[in-house]
Amino acid sequence: MKKPITIYVVDDYLLTRIANKRYFADDCEFSVIGDFSNAKDCFRALDKNEPDIILMDIELSDINGIEAVKIIHDKFPSVKVIMLTQYNDKASVSASLACGACGYVLKNDSNVDLKNIIKMVNKGQLWLDKEIAKFVLSSIPKPKSYDLDNLYENKKLKNNLTLRELEVLKLLIEGKTNSQIAKEIIVSTNTAKAHVGNILTKLSVKDRVQAAVKAVRANIF
């Protein structure tokens, strides 16, 4: 007999946990081996027994589900987490996926086939609610060019700067003045000023703020 997909349910609402357990109860392909009202109880259980899938709400009584996903992803990388929540804002979606969630399902979507989603995620696929998928697609930036080696400029921007200029740019992003930069890299203030001027020219910006913003957006560091 095929081994069932094991599941933890993490939700601070008791009725939701009961409903989820009942949903899987008569299906031999799934087994809910734990349910928890908060993330910390889930962590303690994970130390003893790792499930295949965790269904995680965002709003919890201790730490929120997004932080919990990050901790689980770092400490228990083989465990796949699906967010099962009513939060449908872009920030929650983006943060959840960035922290390691493998799926994002809205509780109020009556058309969702949760069992099929779990099977897909358990096989290594990513699943997003169709409305959530629109958020994700709309947030993908258009390329700055159509050069395959430099679609988003990042590589070109970074390669245009010397190692010293990259060092200065990092300090510039931190808000350091020319004199502070000079002290950090042990050069004269005039030399530091010259490095900053070269950086502005190479990044095609007018001032330090624009340089910092462009560097951050391009993920140079």
Domains and CATH numbers, the chain: 5-138 (3.40.50.2300), 154-217 (1.10.10.10)
79 and 51 in contact (C-beta within 8 Å)?
yes
Q: In angstroms, how far is CA 116 from the centroid of its own chain?
A: 24
Given pLDDT bands bounded at 50, 70 and 90, which one contains residue 218?
confident
Given pLDDT bands bounded at 50, 70 and 90, which one contains residue 42?
very high
Given pLDDT bands bounded at 50, 70 and 90, which one contains residue 221?
confident
Q: In angstroms, how far is CA 56 from the centroid of its own chain?
A: 15
pLDDT per residue as tens digits for the range 1-28:
689 999 999 999 999 999 999 999 989 9
User: Which residue pairs, CB below 8 angstroms and at least 24 apart, start in 208-215?
Assistant: 208/172, 211/169, 211/172, 212/172, 212/173, 214/157, 215/157, 215/169, 215/173
Written as six digits, the tokens of 212 are 């910092």
Tell me, what's the pLDDT at 150?
A: 60
Tell me, what's the pLDDT at 151?
A: 63
Closest-CA residue to 122 (of 130, 114, 112): 114
> Which segment, 47-61, 129-143, 198-212, is predicted with the most confidence on average?
47-61
What is the C-alpha to C-alpha distance for residues 218 and 143, in angstroms, rounded to an integer?
12
What is the C-alpha to C-alpha distance for residues 129 and 138, in angstroms, rounded to an integer?
14
Provide the 10 A C-beta neighbour count for residue 47.
9
What is the C-alpha to C-alpha distance for residues 127 and 103, in angstroms, rounded to an integer?
5
What distance, in Å, lies between the first and last C-alpha atoms of the chain?
A: 50
How is residue 49 annotated by DSSP? -
Given pLDDT bands bounded at 50, 70 and 90, which one contains residue 63?
very high
Predicted model pTM = 0.67
